[in-house]
Amino acid sequence: MTLLTKLSILFISALILTACGGSSGGNASSNSSSSSSASSSSGSGGNQAPLANAGENQTSTIGQVVTLDGSASSDPEDQALTYQWQFSSIPNGSNTTLTNANASMPTFMPDLAGIYSLSLVVNDGSVDSESDSISITITDSARFYDDFAGSGELQNYVSNNANSLPDVARADGRYRAQVTDNSNNITLHFNTFQGRLDAQLVSFPFEAIARNIGIGTLADSQSAASASGNPYIFAGLQVHVSDLSDTNSSHVVVGHRGGTHNTIEGKNTVNGSSSVNDAGANIAPNGRADIRIVGNQDRTLTVYWQQPNLTPSETDDNWTLYNGTGNLPNSNPAFGEQVYVGLITYAFELGGLPFVGTCDSLEIIY
C-alpha cells in the first residue's frame, strides 16, 4: 500500500466519522449506510444519548442504609439502560463502599457524618449519558434522654393540649401526671378526643423506650392503682403525626382497661377513627411495664414490651413483641417523615380517679 493510498483511506474514514457525529467510533462502520440521515443527530446512527437521573438529594444518619434511586433515568428511544454509580467524594476516613454499583438502586452504609457525593452515568447499549450527581448528607444519630431528674415542670417537651391535664411534672426522678379531673373526658385519647401529649419531634427511623411506665396511686406512684369498678386508666407512649391538630396517632399504654386489669393497650387512630386491642389481663401485674416502639424506615411501627427492668444498665432487656407480631390493630396512620413521640396519661369517664401516670425514663434515638 502506497503512502498516498494510506492517506486517502484515513481521509475517507475521517469524512465518514464526521458525518456520523463522531461521538462513538464503534458504531461508525455499521451505521455508515445511514450516515447522511444521522448527520444532525446528537448520537450515532440516529441514536440519541440517554439521560441519567441520580434522584433527589437525601439526608440520613450514621448506620442507616442509604438507597439511591436512578430509576428516573431515561432514553429517547426507550433503550434498556445500564447503570454506573460511583462516589465522587466521601468524608475523610470513611470506608464505605457501594453495594450493586451497576444497579438502578444501589445502597451504601454511611460510617461517618458528612457529605457523600455520587455520580451516575447510564448507557443505552452504545452511548454514555452525561453524568448526574447527588449529595447525601449524613448526621450523627440524635438521642433524647430524660430520666426526669429532680422535681418541677417537664423540660424540653412540646406539649399538646396541656390544659387538659395541667398537673404534669417531674417528681423525685419520675414523670408524674396527676389525673384528678376527667370531666367531659378531657384527658381521653380515643377517636377525635386528644388529651395531653408531651413529646419530641423526631424523624423515621427511630426507637423510643419508656421504662417502668404505667399507673399508680397519688400517694405512691409505685403502688398499683385500684381496679375496682373496672376503670379505664392508662399511661404510655404515643406516636402522633407532625400536625398536632390532626387526629392521626398510634399509642401503647399500660393500665386498667375496664374488666381487663393490668394490661397493655394498643391503638391506631386514623382520621379520628380508633382501632384498639390489648395484650390480655394481668400481663403487667403491677400496672407498669417497659414499652419500646421502633419506628421503621418505611414509617410503620413495631411494638415491644417487657416487665419493668429497673436496672437496665446492669441487666439485659428481654423484649416481647406486642401480641406476637409487634403490630397495633389495623393500619397505623400515614405518618410523614417526622412525628411527635411522647408521653400520654388518660382516663375514660371517672372510674379509677384519682390516679397518677408514672414513668422512670424516656429515651428516643432517631
Residues that bind Ca ion (CB under 5 A): 47, 75, 77, 79, 124, 147-148, 173, 360-361
Contact 218, 356 (CB under 8 A): yes
What's at 132, amino acid-wise?
D
Contact 91, 115 (CB under 8 A): yes
CB of residue 174 to Ca ion, shortest distance in Å: 5
Q: What are phi and psi of 77, to 5 degrees?
A: -100, 10
Nearer to Ca ion, 79 or 161 (CB): 79
Q: Would you call the peptide bond into 110 cis, given omega within 30 degrees of 0 as the criterion?
A: no
What is each CA distance from 140 to 59, 134, 143, 193, in whole angstroms?
11, 20, 9, 37
CB of residue 354 to Ca ion, shortest distance in Å: 22
CB of residue 211 to Ca ion, shortest distance in Å: 8
Question: How many Cα atoms within 13 Å fall on the side-chain side of residue 350?
Answer: 4
Nearer to Ca ion, 176 or 240 (CB): 176
CB of residue 21 to Ca ion, shortest distance in Å: 13
Nearest to 148 by CA among 168, 177, 171: 171
Judged on CB neighbours under 10 Å (0-12, 13-18, 19+), 335 is buried
Considering only the C-alpha atoms of the chain, give the largest distance between any 2 of them, rounded to a whole number of Å. 112
CB of residue 145 to Ca ion, shortest distance in Å: 10
Query: Which residues are within 8 A (CB) of 254 and not within 5 positions of it... i.e. 6 or more apart?
Result: 213, 214, 215, 234, 235, 236, 263, 264, 265, 284, 287, 288, 289, 291
Nearer to Ca ion, 104 or 250 (CB): 104
CB of residue 78 to Ca ion, shortest distance in Å: 8
Tally of CB atoms within 10 A around 339? 27
CB of residue 31 to Ca ion, shortest distance in Å: 13
Nearer to Ca ion, 44 or 249 (CB): 44
How far apart are the C-alpha atoms of 166 and 260, rounded to whole Å?
28
CB of residue 290 to Ca ion, shortest distance in Å: 13
Nearer to Ca ion, 290 or 360 (CB): 360
Three-state secondary-structure class, residue 307: coil
Contact 105, 68 (CB under 8 A): yes
Nearer to Ca ion, 81 or 347 (CB): 81
Nearest to 347 by CA among 210, 249, 236, 245: 236
Nearer to Ca ion, 308 or 333 (CB): 308
Nearer to Ca ion, 148 or 322 (CB): 148
